[in-house]
Amino acid sequence: MNRRDFLATLSVSVLAAPLAAEAQQLAKVYRIGYLTVPSRATAGGVADTFERTLRDLGWIAGQNVTIDYRFADSDVSRLPELAAELVRLRADVIVSGANAAVAAVKKETSTTPIVMFLAIDPVASGLVASLARPGGNVTGLTATVGPEIYGKQLQLLKSAFPRISRVAVLVTRSTPLYARALPEIETATRALGLQQQLAMVRDPGDFESALATLTAARPDAIFVPNDSMFYQHRTRLAELVAKTRLPSMWGAREFAEAGGLMSYYTDLDDLGRRAAIFVDRLLKGARPGDLPVEQPTKFELVINAETAKALALTIAPSVLLSADRVIQ
């Protein structure tokens, strides 16, 4: 290299260095909104998994992304306000939990990408046009593969306690479960040769009276399907159900961890992980309407052996051996 070429190269390098440093400083920091129905204390595990996966994908909170968390503390009336906050913050993508949270965000914006991760039947709910081609600004994950999850839960309950014949079902009026899943639960109980007893609750204040009404009818077991209000108050509800001394089947594993006897549901941590993958794709330029909605692939049966022992209940060995986790 001659002297002239060397000096030219050196000059370009000296000029490029501050420009590169300035470009790095001016690199965009993306904003992610996160809205879900339960409280932070209740749903923090899934949020932690979400943020940890983002970090593994190269999105570091405080560096190249900002994450604005909003938790409704199981008060769905707060969702419109919280959704509006996230839209006003000009989030680049908003992650939403249950149907009500997704609907609240969708009402506020038709352009900001929305990643749902706990939606139940999003097509019937009007959140997306179809699973394969969602269209619009919503994509993500469903909470279950469909209402047949309830049939599987009831089948496991019956297999664990073959002699049961009457099952009490506790549900809320305020969730999609009431409108769409009850027919599936009724079909499943009938197919298993079970009689169904139904109790509706509106808020946590109804727990004790509803369970008293159910147990007065002398059921053999209790079924508590997954619901955000039940999830928020799972410890208290598990204590009340334990007082009946009846076998019980619940939704997500956190119910069993709180003292419920058995749970079978989607692995919620896996949904949080996969929601982060959707966010990664959207921040890299994908369009939400082009990303097919995915269904869960990981389910887990959790049995609380400590609760079984306290209630003097014997679970069928075949079901016990098939459990993904046994809490001792």
Which domains are assigned to the chain?
30-144+268-297 (3.40.50.2300), 148-266+300-327 (3.40.50.2300)
pTM for the complete prediction? 0.81
Q: What is the mean pLDDT of residues 8-33?
A: 60
Is the pLDDT at 121 greater than 80? The verdict is yes
CA dist 165 and 201 (Å) reads 23
160, 190 Cβ separation under 8 angstroms: no
Q: Reply yes or no on whether the pLDDT at 146 is more than 80.
A: no
CA distance 271 to 226: 15
pLDDT in tens, 231-261: 888 999 999 999 999 999 999 888 999 999 9
pLDDT of residue 41: 83
35-75 residue pLDDT tens: 998 888 878 889 999 999 999 999 999 999 999 999 998 78
For residue 226, what are its two tokens?
């997954």
Walk across the sheet containing 166-172 and list its strands.
195-201, 166-172, 221-223, 248-250, 262-266, 299-304, 325-327
C-alpha to C-alpha distance for 83 and 75, rounded to whole angstroms:
13
